[in-house]
Copies of this chain bind each other. A is one copy, B any other.
């Protein structure tokens, strides 16, 4: 299949992330988490600062959810920072994998790992003057699903079961995709807080 650049920009989704296990053993935890993920359905690249997956929306979310749950170690406080982006006009459209048969190859394994987390996210719909309506819409849905906490400047606080939160984040991406061509989600999640979740 070949696509024009404009079509590609509407198909390629990217998620960049950094895992930060707050442990002397951080190198092993990061590398073994990345290893456990089936990345055959996304384009993947790890550089000095972060890892990037590019592909279909469902496939990149499936992969990053897998990395995060696979990084779980009893008693180790770990955070992940993720930036999800779609439709950036500056995107070179060079690196991607789109022709995949299955977009949730990691899902079955991921769902076997279960824990609570706390975090926050912000949504940035680009190139439009009335971007706040979409933001208020998705915050409202977060309240209904009981995965958000009250308050917070600049970000919406997240809480609860890891899979409920990822399901909600995927909903935010899907919902934003209906309204805007270019949007970014900035997300921080963490678990095993010294004081509890």
A interface residues (Cβ-Cβ under 8 A, vs B)? 14, 16, 18, 20-24, 26-27, 47-50, 52, 54, 77, 79, 81, 83, 85, 88-92, 95, 118-120, 122, 124, 126-129, 131-132, 135-136, 153-155, 157, 184, 186, 188, 190, 193-195
Do B23 and A135 touch (CB < 8 A)? no
**Complex Cα distance A27/B195, Å?**
11
Q: What is the count of identical protomers in the complex?
A: 2
Nearest B residue (CB) for A194: B27
**Complex Cα distance A82/B127, Å?**
23
Do A54 and B153 touch (CB < 8 A)? yes
**Complex Cα distance A155/B82, Å?**
12
**Complex Cα distance A195/B127, Å?**
39
